[in-house]
Amino acid sequence: MTKQLVALRVNRRLHELAIESSWLLLDTLREQLQLTGSKRGCDDSSCGACTVLVDGIPMLACTLLAASCEGREITTIEGVTEHGALAAIQKAYGDWGGAQCGFCTPGFIMTVKHLLATTPKPSEEKIREALSSNLCRCTGYSQMYEAIKAAVEAEQKGLAGDEKNAPSRT
Ligand code: FES
Ligand code: FES
């Protein structure tokens, strides 16, 4: 099949790629740009492991055609760091054990990034509702909720990156 040139803006960088019109965004990110943080966890759009932000909105990269994303701003887990430092939610995941095997984590982080950007102080119910689009097969949901609450608190206090909110380890 013939390839077409498509300009994709990913993590604030513009990439001109020769791709086939049928290529999915997930495969293009992983195989053409070596951005392997976004995962393929299912075959039926149900796991959310491939979640990326497209113009700030969480979308499943396994269902989107890469060519349809031309002119849009794509953010993957690799683009979540802020000025070279972990974002509050990434740090909180580490502090609170939000990731177990870690396979689902990039997708969850992207969903949470959108949640915190649109609802800076989400209720427990709002957090649960947002996370319902992602699946964790290790089922460590309670640590994730704690991590999200810690990230909300850190962002509220402007303490992202501060050790103060981390649980003590004995
Ligand atoms: S890989 Fe499971 S929803 Fe995309
Ligand atoms: S941490 Fe293993 S699938 Fe979620």
**Nearest-5° Cα angle at 152, 150 to 85:** 80
Backbone angles phi, psi at 106, to 5 degrees: -55, -40
Q: How far is Cα 42 from Cα 39, in angstroms, rounded to an integer?
A: 9
pLDDT in tens, 10-69: 999 999 999 999 999 999 999 999 999 999 999 899 999 999 999 999 999 999 999 999
**Distance (Å) of CA 153 to CA 16, 50, 108:** 40, 27, 18
140: Cβ below 6 Å to ligand 2? yes
**Distance (Å) of CA 64 to CA 21, 86, 144:** 11, 27, 27
Nearest ligand (C-alpha, residue 138): 2
Whether residues 13 and 46 share a domain: the answer is yes
**Tokens standing for 103?**
């396979």
137: Cβ below 6 Å to ligand 2? yes
Whether residues 14 and 74 share a domain: the answer is yes
Is residue 128 within 8 Å of residue 72, measured between CB atoms? no
72: Cβ below 6 Å to ligand 1? no
Give the count of domains, the chain: 2
Q: What is the CATH number of the domain that holds 69?
A: 3.10.20.30
Whether residues 93 and 154 share a domain: the answer is yes
101: Cβ below 6 Å to ligand 2? yes
Whether residues 22 and 73 share a domain: the answer is yes
pLDDT in tens, 83-116: 889 999 999 999 999 999 999 999 999 999 999 9
Q: Look up the domain containing 108 and give its range.
A: 88-159
